[in-house]
């Protein structure tokens, strides 16, 4: 299809799409919008940054058309508050000329304002599962009118332990409804769980699942330890022009904070921000908005930001740590190379992380090119504690692959010095064994 005009969308939607700067539908939009408009259940799998949100938002807005009653008619579930905010932003963008009311529900702040918005009436709820259930159980949400249920990033919801909450939500929404699932990865487990509420779905797989976008150039640097990784980061960031908008992903909040402190010493505080689960909601929102507006050059983040962070023209994604949940790699690098722009994804890898790199390469069916460390990067010696931690991690990985493997850190049997005496005592009914005296030879 050449344009959005080819879909049976009303003029209000088409005007909003044009004003938003979208001229041609992406592949997932081309394949998903028509079946969704016809009322089919859809399971959509597409690369991050290919327009999955618009693929379900546009048919939803077209079907709802205008405000009606006080109770919600559509429910969109998201695993993280950042993604929920991104979806709500897209809805507002495309519903500029529509009389539809949207309420955004997520945790991390008091529910008073959210309750007031619900009391005024709404057509669409965008929510994280936990906050939705809290407000439903307290009597502030009535679900009888819900006709559409959307699960975005369904696999992440399962990874984050939302399966129990999802099943509870499915019990309280009407059975007669249209269902939609969208994600960049769709494991076999999610496919099985999806069978609980998708009725003969149309499966749309734009690319094989877990395939990174072709616009993202991937590379790998082998750095033996944390200090060498920091030195590598500093050398790369000297190229201000190339690395003009960068997201640095880390496995833990502690590492993210340490990197932020390190970079904050090298650059002005206006150039670097950090977001993770321990940061307040307003701090996270302000940091993301500053990054979007170009006020901040470097954003350090844990995987909480890997889903739903839609920022145009991110030049580089740097995996400071290799993700243990290997599917997160696809979502991390999907923050660059969006909307057919080019981007670079660079991964730092210590010896213990090579295990996960091999699994990632198997998942994405690609080999990530290994580059030599740039000139000027000082390779620091690995400290004793870090060396021991890496050795333990490698031992654990070897045991996963081979349960009979005995590595450097396996438990060794300790034989007490008096074990022989103890055994002899047991054989003599608790009396210590005394060797018989030998008589004189006659």
pLDDT digits (tens, 9 = 90+) for 91-107: 999 999 999 999 999 98
Per-residue pLDDT, 326 = 85
Per-residue pLDDT, 375 = 92
Note whether residue 411 is domain-resident: no
Instruction: Dump pLDDT digits (tens) for 215-268.
Output: 899 999 999 999 999 999 999 999 989 999 999 999 889 999 999 999 988 887
127 burial (CB, 10 Å; 0-12 / 13-18 / 19+) is: buried
Do both 221 and 180 map to the same domain?
Answer: no
Do both 180 and 287 map to the same domain?
Answer: no
Average pLDDT, the chain: 85
- Please state the rounded mean pLDDT for residues 173-202: 80
Note whether residue 222 is domain-resident: yes
User: Confidence class of residue 429 from pLDDT cuts 50, 70 and 90?
Assistant: low
322, 334, 351, 315: which is closest to 236 by C-alpha? 315
* Least reliable range by pLDDT among 146-155, 194-203, 392-401: 194-203
User: Confidence class of residue 283 from pLDDT cuts 50, 70 and 90?
Assistant: confident
| Residue 195 structural domain | 4-205
Instruction: Dump pLDDT digits (tens) for 333-368.
Output: 888 887 667 899 999 999 999 999 999 999 888 999
The tally of domains found in the chain comes to 2
User: Confidence class of residue 432 from pLDDT cuts 50, 70 and 90?
Assistant: low
Residue written as token pair 């709820």: 125
Note whether residue 423 is domain-resident: no
Determine the number of helices (DSSP H) and then strands (DSSP E) in the chain: 16, 14
Q: What is the pTM of this model?
A: 0.67
Per-residue pLDDT, 441 = 53
How many angstroms separate the CA atoms of 47 and 185, rounded? 8
| pLDDT above 90 (res 145) | yes
Percent of the chain with pLDDT strictly greater than 70: 85
φ, ψ for residue 130 (rounded to 5)? -65, -50
Give the list of residues 6+ apart from residue 350 with CB closer than 8 angstroms, or none: 222, 223, 224, 225, 226, 229, 390
How many angstroms separate the CA atoms of 216 and 50, rounded? 12
DSSP structure class, residue 185 = -
Per-residue pLDDT, 305 = 59
Note whether residue 393 is domain-resident: no
Do both 168 and 60 map to the same domain?
Answer: yes
Do both 34 and 123 map to the same domain?
Answer: yes
Give the list of residues 6+ apart from residue 439 with CB closer than 8 angstroms, or none: none
Do both 80 and 190 map to the same domain?
Answer: yes
């Amino acid at each position: 299809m050449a344009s959005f005009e080819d879909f049976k969308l009303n003029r209000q939607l088409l005007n909003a799409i044009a004003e938003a700067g979208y001229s041609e539908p992406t592949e997932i939009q081309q394949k998903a919008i028509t079946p969704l408009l016809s009322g089919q259940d859809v399971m959509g799998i597409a690369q991050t940054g290919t327009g999955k949100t618009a693929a379900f938002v546009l048919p939803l807005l077209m079907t709802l058309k205008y405000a009606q009653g006080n109770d919600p008619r559509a429910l969109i579930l998201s695993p993280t508050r950042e993604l929920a905010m991104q979806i709500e932003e897209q809805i507002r963008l495309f519903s500029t000329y529509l009389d539809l009311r949207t309420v955004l529900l997520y945790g991390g702040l008091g529910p008073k304002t959210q309750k007031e918005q619900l009391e005024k009436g709404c057509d669409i709820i965008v929510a994280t599962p936990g906050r939705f259930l809290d407000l439903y159980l307290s009597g502030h949400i009535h679900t009888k009118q819900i006709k559409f249920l959307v699960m975005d990033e369904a696999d992440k919801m399962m990874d984050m332990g939302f399966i129990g909450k999802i099943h509870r939500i499915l019990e309280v929404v009407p059975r007669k409804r249209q269902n939609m699932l969208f994600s960049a990865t769709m494991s076999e487990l999610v496919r099985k769980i999806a069978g609980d509420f998708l009725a003969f779905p149309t499966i749309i797989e734009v690319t094989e699942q877990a395939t990174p976008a072709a616009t993202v150039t991937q590379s790998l640097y082998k750095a033996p330890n944390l200090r060498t990784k920091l030195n590598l980061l500093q050398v790369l960031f000297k190229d201000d022009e190339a690395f003009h908008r960068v997201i640095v992903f880390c496995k833990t909040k502690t590492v993210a904070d340490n990197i932020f402190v390190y970079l904050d010493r090298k650059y002005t505080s206006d150039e670097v921000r950090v977001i993770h689960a321990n940061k307040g909601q307003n701090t996270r929102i302000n940091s993301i908005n500053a990054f979007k507006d170009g006020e901040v050059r470097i954003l350090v983040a844990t995987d909480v930001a890997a889903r739903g962070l839609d920022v145009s023209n991110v030049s580089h994604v740097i995996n400071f740590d290799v993700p243990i949940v290997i599917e997160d790699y696809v979502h991390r690098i999907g923050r660059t190379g969006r909307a057919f722009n080019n981007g670079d994804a660079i991964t730092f890898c210590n010896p213990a992380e090579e295990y996960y790199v091999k699994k990632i390469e198997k998942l994405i069916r690609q080999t990530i090119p290994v580059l030599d460390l740039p000139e000027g990067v000082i390779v620091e010696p690995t400290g004793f504690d870090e060396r021991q931690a890496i050795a333990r991690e490698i031992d654990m990985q070897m045991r996963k692959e081979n349960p009979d493997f005995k590595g450097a850190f396996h438990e060794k049997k300790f034989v007490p010095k008096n074990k022989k005496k103890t055994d002899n005592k047991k054989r003599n009914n608790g009396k210590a064994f005394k060797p018989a005296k030998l008589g004189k030879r006659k």
